[in-house]
Chain A
């Protein structure tokens, strides 16, 4: 192999470059084959499969883990705190604590907790920054409805059994609610029961502020004293968010367990249920989140490892890619499109649907403000990122794109299939113009729909005709539609011209060479139509000239033939008469020679006449069904005399069964007569002549082989007129034998060819087999 490629070193550079890639591949595969031993091809296939599998699994794992993590990070508020060891340091915990405080304040102030209505909260803290408070303090804790909670003095029913949060609520010194066990104290951080490390107090003596202790140290609750979006604790007591008048005498102490546990409520017989335990779930979700991210990170690592394997096998993987491309070629383009669009839609709408809806709604009410976008855009991005959580759709999308890319890399564009073509080739064929008109009509209808949809969507958004956006939504599509309609009109005119043009091409093909195509002066295709007319006129002229010259040729042939025959008749007649005279010595010889040569001239004149007619396609043939095998036997029987007289042996291989073809028997007899005569004349003395007839693939093939007496010149067309193997013109024969055989065979609808290998001469006559 090496020497072979080395020998190419002296080839031109361009060639070397062209084959370079191929050579490299060949050498490489050759080497791996040698190393792999045994079955190089199987080893290669195994590697390709392994490479692809590594690529597929690796990329899938990397993408799905990254997608899941990104989606969770984007969607879950506070999900980014999963790495914190202490669950009480998280925003979720602070929010939950603040919620507890809010609810206790509400209860203490005599308000009622309606779990489905925020208005109650608003009432309870009236006089404070009510609207802000009410908006945020949305109590949606899912709680089973218990009539117990409606009894007076029993409003804290839902909090009592959950000992993750201990509380004591009093108002002007009167204890209102508490879930402390007897003997438990909840006065300050120091007398917290065992296992509790978080303490919150809201006391009248603190002047409407909240103090918090955690792990023995007091926490700075208010920071700068002003409540902003950045503040940790959303509790009353800020300068801009003081506690309301209603809660002036309220004292609230609450403690939170360091490690919350799940409390079961109600009786065991009922199966028990886990109402409450809110702090437990806050802690739990943090741990769950941590586990999630660790798992995803592990999958990511595994995926990267597999991708490394792929990187090593990336060349071998190409084989697998090609194999896959050979499968995907059959998939319609429309299905490919769906394979991309469906997962994409799933990704966009998984989380983003609500955001789209909110955007739509916010725009449908008349307070459309550009500033709104500043809020919605990041929200939209976040929701789209959150969609990545849907890893199934993500993988579908990525692999669909990869498959299409792979397909486009290995399969030429023209081999791709699509449903539209699949259907359209099965639909009845309408003329070009009609098809284009239909298309134009459909396009026009669609275009007219544009402004209507604009107006309809403006109305659906609740925009009144007085609003500028209404007119924008109606006018822009309207203008576009008008422009498109104008273009379509132009297009229809063009389609009409193209239709007439293609109709003209069709009619020229069908033989109409006299009717020119007249397009309007201003037509875009006027120039093309005129060119076509010129071509048509040119063809017409050429055809007429050709017909005339054919006719003249045939006339010439038959005139010349006649003119030659008349003097020849005299020569032959008088030569014959001369031979009948008593001649002396040499004169008798001369008369004999004249007679012989004149006879030969007669044969030649007849042959020339026939060959010329055949060449001008003027040879009359009477086609009929006949048995080629029988015709060959008859010909041999007819020529039995000369064959016996020769010193040649004829070896026959003719089928017993009839070989039916359609041909002119007389002409075909002449074909084989000439071939046999040719063999008799030129075959090596004492050699064998092989005549065989074979059938197969709907054809009958008769061949005659003989060894030439003299050396056969190379590169000579033996079927050309006056060509003979021996190049000398002294032998008998007109030199037209093979030419007659060839032209007669073709006139009958067969094929004739001559093959020469060294001294072996083969003439082959082929005919299509006739049906029953």
Chain B
């Protein structure tokens, strides 16, 4: 591995903590403390992923992000104390691949870093295998023929029921399924008091595919309506 990751934050302690965590996972870490420094390092082709804070002196994270995007195609994860939905949407629309809020969970952060790197490296494989068959949604790749689901390229082991749920959801990203419909179509039985059953299975699937099952990115509850597979780019 030994991929090089650029960590940018105006707080040196935070940079230090992230560096230690990532280095323990076997990554090389480069450090920068403002946007301008980040630009200098980002042009080095050895850097394979950037973790960048938003509020920084000299040049803020989002502006730096735009400039880097002009030059290079590499995964960029924004790390910010701004935790509102609007902030996340703004960061993602500026070209960030992921958005992690402070205070972050170290395990989740490393999982996201790994995921991004895997996606960027395995992208070629998917092309090679013939993408027509495959349903790709962010980190997830589903093969409807073999009924196999891969997350970041790794196959996910699902039970038959879970596979049927994933099949339905992956084929209809963005569509909201009420619990009753999910139950009828997956279990082929009349739906009665099925909310708990459905939720139990969805929680298990989340534990297998989500980076942070408590704040899922893919299978989401639409409160008061049903469940859906979130569409990712």
Contacts and interface: CB of A to CB of B under 8 A. Distances in A.
Interface of A: 561-562, 565-566, 568-574, 576-577, 580, 598, 602, 606, 609, 620, 624, 626-628, 630-631, 633-638, 640, 663, 665-666, 668-669
Given A562-B55, A620-B85, A633 B195 contact: yes
Contacts of A666: 223
A606 B103 CA distance: 10
B82 A634 contact: no
B111 interface: no
Interface stretch (B11-19, B137-145, B159-167): B11-19
B169 to A, nearest CB: 16
Contacts of B82: 562
A88 B82 CA distance: 124
B81 A640 contact: no
Given A562-B81, A577-B17, A620-B85, A631 B102 contact: no
Interface in B214-228: 221-226
Contacts of A636: 195-196
Contacts of B104: 569, 572-573
Contact of A570 (B14, B24, B86): B14
B66 interface: no
Nearest to A580: B24
Given A631-B224, A634-B199, A569 B106 contact: no
A669 B14 contact: no
A707 B61 CA distance: 51
7 contacts: A562-B81, A562-B82, A566-B81, A568-B103, A602-B103, A620-B84, A640-B200
Given A634-B195, A637-B199, A640-B196, A573 B224 contact: no
A574 B13 CA distance: 9
Contacts, number: 95
A614 B104 CA distance: 24
Nearest to B101: A565
B102 A569 contact: yes
B103 A665 contact: no
B225 A630 contact: yes
B195 A620 contact: no
Interface in B14-46: 14, 17-18, 20-21, 24
A665 B225 contact: yes
A524 B81 CA distance: 62
A573 B106 CA distance: 7
Contact of A626 (B11, B21, B84, B224): B224
Interface in B103-121: 103-104, 106
Interface in B169-199: 178-179, 195-196, 198-199
A669 B224 CA distance: 9
Interface string B49-91: 0000001000000000000000000000000011111100000
B81 A572 contact: no
> What are the 9 closest A-B residue pairs judged by CB atoms, nearest first?
A626-B224, A665-B223, A573-B17, A637-B199, A631-B224, A565-B81, A633-B195, A569-B103, A569-B102
B86 A620 contact: yes
B6 to A, nearest CB: 18
Interface string B127-158: 00000000000000000000000000000000
Nearest to B11: A566
B83 A606 contact: yes
Nearest to A606: B83
B85 A627 contact: no
A518 to B, nearest CB: 45
Given A573-B18, A630-B224, A634-B223, A565 B195 contact: no
Max chain B C-beta neighbours (<10 A), residue from A568, A570, A624, A669: A570
Max chain A C-beta neighbours (<10 A), residue from B17, B24, B86, B196: B17
Contacts of A665: 222-225
B144 to A, nearest CB: 28
